[in-house]
């Protein structure tokens, strides 16, 4: 596996989506942080994580992480990452050959305090931004991340619940 491969449980290939597909059943409760639903998706991700982590003999010290926590409030992806980490720690195939750690990504508090929106009447709701503003916001958001030397030279499993930005 290439070190920058993207692996996912489900890829939406057509619109409209079928909300009755089993992959979506627990999703609303998961997004609200319901522990049972978070565990459900972590259990679905465990075989993928095992294939990636235990299947890579080149590295022995993996980091699991998720998108940066905003305003000290973990998102569903953070909860998923933490739960997946717990499952991985107790999986014999992974824990016997790999050292795992979970690291949170942080924003620079000062840089997130001054949101630089093009239109001051827009809310901080990302979904209300137009395409150009979404691209700018993604770039600005990336510049606000606090550097962490612990990530350098180590394989990282980045856990996210959805990869859709509109940008």
In order along its 167 residues, the chain shows pLDDT tens digits of 455 566 788 887 788 888 888 889 999 999 999 999 999 999 999 999 998 888 878 888 899 999 888 777 888 999 999 999 999 999 888 877 778 888 888 766 655 445 554 545 444 566 677 778 777 776 776 666 666 777 788 888 889 887 655 54
- CA separation for the pair 102, 82 (Å, rounded): 7
Q: Count the alpha carbons within 13 Å of 107 in the hemisphere toward its beta carbon.
A: 21
Alpha carbon distance 49, 135 (integer Å): 30
Nearest to 64 by CA among 87, 44, 41, 39: 87
- Specify the pTM: 0.77
């Amino acid at each position: 596996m290439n070190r920058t491969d993207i692996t996912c449980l489900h890829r939406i290939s057509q619109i409209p989506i079928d909300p009755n597909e089993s992959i979506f059943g627990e999703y609303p409760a998961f997004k609200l942080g319901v522990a049972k639903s978070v565990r459900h998706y972590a259990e679905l991700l465990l075989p993928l994580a095992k294939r990636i982590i235990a299947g890579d003999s080149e590295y022995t010290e993996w980091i699991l992480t998720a998108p940066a926590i905003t305003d000290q409030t973990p998102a569903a992806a953070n909860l998923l990452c933490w739960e997946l980490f717990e499952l991985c720690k107790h999986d014999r195939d992974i824990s016997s050959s790999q050292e795992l750690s979970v690291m949170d990504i942080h924003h620079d508090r000062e840089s997130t305090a001054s949101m630089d929106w093009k239109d001051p009447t827009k809310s901080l709701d990302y979904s209300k931004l137009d395409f150009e503003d979404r691209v700018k916001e993604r770039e600005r958001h990336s510049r606000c991340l606090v550097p962490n030397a612990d990530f350098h030279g180590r394989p990282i499993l980045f856990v996210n619940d959805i990869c859709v930005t509109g940008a």
